[in-house]
Each structure stands twice: as structure tokens, then as C-alpha cells.
């Protein structure tokens, strides 16, 4: 099992990239991969 996870700063940037239409499909693919490796955070 891979124990490495994307940190919150990178996850936030990845989320911004996915929402921004200026980025390419490849960039969005990398951002999606980063988000898939993010630890689940439950909101209050």
C-alpha cells in the first residue's frame, strides 16, 4: 500500500486547475491524479 499522500496545498492547486478552462487535458489529468491521492477530509 502506498502511504504517500498529496498535501493540502497541492490538493488546493489541483482543484483550481480542474476548474480552470485555460489548462490542457493533460494538466487536468495530472491534477485529478493528485486529488485521487489526497487524504479524505471531513468537513464540520
CA end-to-end span of the chain, whole Å? 29
- Per-residue pLDDT of 14-40, as tens digits, reads 999 999 999 999 999 999 999 999 877
Place of cell 498535501: 7
> In which band, very low, low, confident or very high, does the pLDDT at 5 lie, cut at 50, 70 and 90?
confident
Look up the pTM and report it: 0.76
> In which band, very low, low, confident or very high, does the pLDDT at 41 lie, cut at 50, 70 and 90?
low
Write 30-36 long-range contacts (CB < 8 A, 24+). 34/6, 34/10, 35/6, 35/11
Amino acid at each position: 500500500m502506498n502511504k504517500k499522500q498529496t498535501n493540502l496545498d497541492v490538493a488546493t492547486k489541483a482543484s483550481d486547475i480542474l476548474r480552470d478552462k485555460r489548462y490542457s487535458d493533460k494538466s487536468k489529468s495530472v491534477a485529478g491524479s493528485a486529488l485521487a491521492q489526497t487524504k479524505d477530509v471531513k468537513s464540520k
